[in-house]
Amino acid sequence: MMKFLGSATVIFFGWLIGVLISKKDKFKIEDLEEFKRGLGIFSGEMRCTSIPLSDIFDEISQRCNGAVSKLFSDAALFAREKKDSDAGELWQRAVEKNAGNFYFGSEEMDCLFSFSPVLLGHFRSQQEQGTENIIDDIETVCMKLREKSSKDERLFRSAGLLCGILICVIIF
Amino acid sequence: MTLRDEILSACAGRIKDTLEKTDKHTFENAEEIRIRSGRGMFIKTNLDELAVCEDGSLTREEKNIFIPTEKDIHTFFEVMSGYSFYAFNEEIKNGFITIQGGHRIGIAGHAVCENGKITALSDISSVNIRICRQMIGISKKVIPYIYKKGTFLNTVIISPPGFGKTTLLRDIIRNLSVSGQNVSVADERGEIGGCWKGHVTNDLGPRTDVMDSVPKALGMRMLLRSMAPDVIACDEAGGEDDIMAIDEIKRCGVKILCTFHGYGIEDLEIKTGSDFERYIVLDFADGIRKAAIFDENKMIGVEKL
């Protein structure tokens, strides 16, 4: 009985680890989608309200969730501190501070960093165009991640399950 | 927040560091702070213009003065605009932005034009901070001249730049408002009300409504329809459309209070052809500001402000 329960537990946890690893790409997609939503809000606020950058970042922080919310909240704080020489620099600092809160790899991090030169644009049209370009990039990255995720999901689940069975065979 | 704190809180980088080193009384009489890339930073008072040294002292000589770089000006302007260039697009095309407290930041640099209109201004090389100062009570001596039998008269303030037109206008608005008149202000540059995020930061009295960042003519017409004012005020009118709007307002029976650039009534007549009931011509020499008040025909008084 003990052997049976032990085996079941090991197999279950093997499968669970597999599921969690397979979900990693989904978390990335969720964060990227949230960031895309933030950029949409940025574009709309910039076009329609002309409020200062710090206020826009605060607004995005309130309307978004998770790591993206924290990222924009820190950027708003940095904008109020007025310690950075330009908006690009303050965004870069906020991304570096929050890098640990995302599951991102280098390609996804590039999406975050690419907002930096957009903020340096002197004109609304320039910034709007730049934001649209990032949104397009995010969609491309998300599409790739979705394709990868659908392939990897079954693989990692099966691998987790098999690992669990293998451990049981070795132990028991 | 003091005037000094207000200016310093908007500055950044080496420019802020150098201004912070200046004597705390430096800003008391300052009218303008001019910053020129590769040339220097100068503080203009009502009597003098002095260069700022690296150690914050002021000098008339050109030795050891603080020389701002192009990057200093870029950083300064980024921070001054709250990293929000997009929010000031229209103002930048006109060559200035207005910051919290109503201080006007004039800029010069590389202009990009399309079909004869400026579409962008980049590589900013010179900045002029025009310090906005409230002088409550400055209009006290002028007020009796601009009323007739308890009724406010259409009034125009005329002077060259830097003579205190806006300061006097602001105080007259405050007085009218305190005396019970509903005053509507078309504040195109945000200098009169010192508007920040739509809120008036200068004291314009309890019955004053301000519409800021709107072209004067458009703003005056909107206020006429929407706010049922007794008096409409605006600063630096002069465009054809402004004059047409002023004439419309006068025809509607609403009183007008505005300012014009010029040296005398003749300049105003050449520029506008519009008639007013009172003309206040400002003169400023040796630190003394005088106002000469005229009716339609003759001078009716001179007052030291």
**List of chain A residues whose C-beta atoms are within 8 Å of the C-beta of residue B75:** 85-86
Q: Residue B60 burial (CB < 10 Å; 0-12/13-18/19+)?
A: exposed
Shortest CA gap A102–chain B (Å):
26
Instruction: Look at the alpha carbons of A43, A47, A49, A54 in this order and tell me if their dihedral is positive or negative.
Output: positive
B136 domain residue, yes or no? no
Residue A27 — pLDDT band, cuts 50, 70, 90? confident
Do B149 and B297 share a domain, yes or no? yes
Residue B270 — pLDDT band, cuts 50, 70, 90? low
Per-residue pLDDT, averaged over B17-34, amounts to: 86
**Are B243 and B274 within 8 A, CB to CB?**
yes
More confident of the two residues A112 and A153: A112
How distant is the alpha carbon of residue B196 from its chain centre? 15
Query: With 80 as the cut, is the pLDDT of residue A126 above it?
Result: yes
Element (H, E) at B276: none
Per DSSP bridges, beta strands B30-36 and B40-45 are antiparallel
Whole-angstrom distance, CA of residue B207 vs CA of residue A116: 45
B230 domain residue, yes or no? yes
Per-residue pLDDT at B11:
86
Residue A52 to residue B87, Cβ atoms within 8 A: yes
Q: Give A3-14 pLDDT, tens digit per residue.
A: 788 888 888 887
> How many CB atoms sit inside 10 A of residue B152's CB?
22
Do B101 and B150 share a domain, yes or no? no
Whole-angstrom distance, CA of residue B11 vs CA of residue B73: 10
**Cβ-nearest to B83 among A50, A90, A124:** A90
Backbone Cα Rg of chain A: 21
Number of Cβ pairs < 8 A linking chain A and chain B: 57
**Cβ-nearest to A53 among B9, B13, B84:** B84
Residue A54 in contact with partner chain B when CB distance is under 8 A: yes
Domain termination residue (choose one: B101, B130, B159): B130
**Are A11 and A164 within 8 A, CB to CB?**
yes
A21 domain residue, yes or no? no
Per-residue pLDDT at B214:
87
Do B261 and B199 share a domain, yes or no? yes
Torsion angle (degrees, nearest 10) of CA A60, A64, A66, A67: -40
Q: What is the ipTM of this complex?
A: 0.74
Query: With 70 as the cut, is the pLDDT of residue B80 above it?
Result: yes
Per-residue pLDDT, averaged over B186-201, amounts to: 84
B138 domain residue, yes or no? no
B262 domain residue, yes or no? yes
Whole-angstrom distance, CA of residue B260 vs CA of residue B237: 6
Do B115 and B12 share a domain, yes or no? yes
**List of chain A residues whose C-beta atoms are within 8 Å of the C-beta of residue B120:** 122-123
Residues 6+ apart with CB under 8 A from A117: A88, A130
Give me the CATH number covering residue B105.
3.30.450
Indicate the number of domains in chain A. 1
Whole-angstrom distance, CA of residue A90 vs CA of residue A84: 6
How distant is the alpha carbon of residue B173 from its chain centre? 14
A14 domain residue, yes or no? no
Residue B287 — pLDDT band, cuts 50, 70, 90? confident
Tell me the average pLDDT of chain B: 88
Quote the percentage of chain B above a pLDDT of 70.
Answer: 98
Average the pLDDT over each of B10-19, B86-95, B140-149, B267-276 and give the range with the smallest value: B267-276
Quote the percentage of chain B above a pLDDT of 90.
Answer: 43
Residue B272 — pLDDT band, cuts 50, 70, 90? low
Per-residue pLDDT at A110:
92
Do B155 and B111 share a domain, yes or no? no
Give me the CATH number covering residue B249.
3.40.50.300
Do B126 and B153 share a domain, yes or no? no
Residue A127 in contact with partner chain B when CB distance is under 8 A: yes
B300 is in which domain, residue-wise? 143-304
**Cβ-nearest to B12 among A46, A54, A82:** A82
Q: Give B235-252 pLDDT, tens digit per residue.
A: 988 888 998 999 999 999
A6 domain residue, yes or no? no
Whole-angstrom distance, CA of residue A75 vs CA of residue A69: 10
More confident of the two residues B98 and B156: B156
Per-residue pLDDT at B100:
77
Residue A48 in contact with partner chain B when CB distance is under 8 A: no
Give the tokens for residue A30. 């969720």
**List of chain B residues whose C-beta atoms are within 8 Å of the C-beta of residue A46:** 86-87
A90 is in which domain, residue-wise? 29-148
Per DSSP bridges, beta strands B288-294 and B299-304 are antiparallel
B137 domain residue, yes or no? no
Per-residue pLDDT at B271:
64
Q: Residue B89 burial (CB < 10 Å; 0-12/13-18/19+)?
A: buried
Do B97 and B17 share a domain, yes or no? yes
A39 domain residue, yes or no? yes
Do B227 and B150 share a domain, yes or no? yes
Choose among A102, A115, A112: nearest CA to A66: A102
Do B30 and B86 share a domain, yes or no? yes
Whole-angstrom distance, CA of residue A32 vs CA of residue A9: 34
More confident of the two residues B292 and A23: B292
A23 domain residue, yes or no? no
More confident of the two residues B273 and A49: A49
B241 domain residue, yes or no? yes
Bridge partners (DSSP) of residue B44 are B32, B49
Q: Give A141-171 pLDDT, tens digit per residue.
A: 999 988 888 887 778 777 877 887 888 888 7
Buried b / exposed e across A36-50, counting CB within 10 Å, b at 16+? bbbbebbbebbeeeb
Q: Give A89-106 pLDDT, tens digit per residue.
A: 999 999 999 999 988 888
Per-residue pLDDT at A91:
95
Domain termination residue (choose one: B130, B158, B177): B130
Do B77 and B148 share a domain, yes or no? no
Domain termination residue (choose one: B108, B130, B152): B130
Residue B12 to residue A90, Cβ atoms within 8 A: no
Q: Which residue of B has its CA nearest to A49?
A: B87
Give the tokens for residue B7. 């200016």
Residue A119 to residue B71, Cβ atoms within 8 A: no
Residue A54 to residue B83, Cβ atoms within 8 A: yes
Torsion angle (degrees, nearest 10) of CA A37, A41, A44, A47: -120
Residues 6+ apart with CB under 8 A from B100: B6, B10, B194, B196, B201
**Are B211 and B186 within 8 A, CB to CB?**
yes
Per-residue pLDDT, averaged over B100-123, amounts to: 83
Residues 6+ apart with CB under 8 A from A99: A109
Q: Give A61-78 pLDDT, tens digit per residue.
A: 999 999 999 999 999 999
Q: Which residue of A has its CA nearest to B14?
A: A85
Whole-angstrom distance, CA of residue B70 vs CA of residue B303: 45
Query: Which B positions 103-142 lie with beta carbon below 8 A of chain A?
Result: 120-122
A40 domain residue, yes or no? yes
B78 domain residue, yes or no? yes
Do B110 and B163 share a domain, yes or no? no
Residue B83 to residue A123, Cβ atoms within 8 A: no
Residue B78 in contact with partner chain A when CB distance is under 8 A: yes
Whole-angstrom distance, CA of residue B46 vs CA of residue B162: 9
A68 domain residue, yes or no? yes
Residue B86 to residue A50, Cβ atoms within 8 A: yes
Indicate the number of domains in chain B. 2
